[in-house]
Amino acid sequence: MSHAPRIARLRRLALHGLLALPLLAPLGVRAEALLVFAAASLKPSLDAVLATPRAAALGGITASYAASSQLARQIEAGAPAALFICADQDWMDYVAQRQLVAEGTRANLLGNAIVLVAPRDSAVKLDIAPGFALASALGKDGRLALAEPNSVPAGKYAKSALAQLGVWDAVAARVVSADNVRAALNFVARGEAALGIVYRSDAVSEPAVRVVATFPGATHAPIVYPVAILAGHDTPAARDLLELLRGPTAQAIFRDHGFDAPPR
């Protein structure tokens, strides 16, 4: 017997305000929607992953992007995210310490690098080494764009690298802090900052900037993007999405966008 008349009647009742219940999904279609909280640097690549046929087959998936620090605090406050993809271990630890990670679902998803970028038409050349002339390269009034260096992972990695290289004190007063790394990238892309430090994956996605140099991995902690299902959301749909993100198709897309396999 066809369910179509009943579904049509429910839709008419809902339209007239006589039914406060959600409409039935068509038979054979997963009704569950998943909200993914993801570090801002993941937006171009994760959007591409979620546009694949296999992701579409999982049902409704929505991604919300911001700094990992902001997302972790929203999760703590009760935001209904099902998965969290973070740009460092510290903020995933923050969530896990509050018993907000589903047991056995945390994994290292991706790696990355940080790079010094300039506007595409800039002629700046620099080799990154101890004591390198970063302040001079900024010019008289130029600014250095970073994600907020005391809480946002990309900014923390950048500050650590500059301190390790002995140049942080020389440029600290020239830093323009952004809410997240994509915002720092935009400062450089628009020519509002002479230089910036962002993830390699950000630079790959933005044709208005060019990479001046890559920071040696030894100047900062390993860049790791952990992923986990969040407590109360450990469902078959969430498990399927986690498997997809770790699978070869998604990993190839992430690599095309400038990410690495996670450090071991």
Average pLDDT, the chain: 90
The residue whose two tokens read 């990238």 is: 185
**CATH numeric code, 32-111+223-256:** 3.40.190.10
Specify the pLDDT at position 134.
98
User: Is the pLDDT reported for residue 215 higher than 70?
Assistant: yes
Residue-range domain boundaries for the chain: 32-111+223-256, 114-219
* Token pair 């198709």: residue: 249
pLDDT confidence tier of residue 8, bands split at 50, 70 and 90: very low
User: Yes or no: is domain 114-219 CATH 3.40.190.10?
Assistant: yes
Report residue 146 as tokens. 């970073």
142-158 pLDDT tens trace: 999 999 999 999 999 99
Which residues in 73-83 are b (16+ Cβ under 10 Å) and which e?
A: bbbeeeeebbb
Q: Would you say residue 259 has pLDDT above 50?
A: yes
- Dihedral sign of CA atoms 177, 179, 180, 186 in order: negative
**What share of the chain in percent tops pLDDT 70?**
88
Mean pLDDT of 16-25: 35
User: Does residue 16 surpass a pLDDT of 90?
Assistant: no
Q: At what angle do helices 153-164 and 181-189 cross, to 10 degrees?
A: 70
pLDDT in tens, 35-75: 999 999 999 999 999 999 999 999 899 999 999 999 999 99
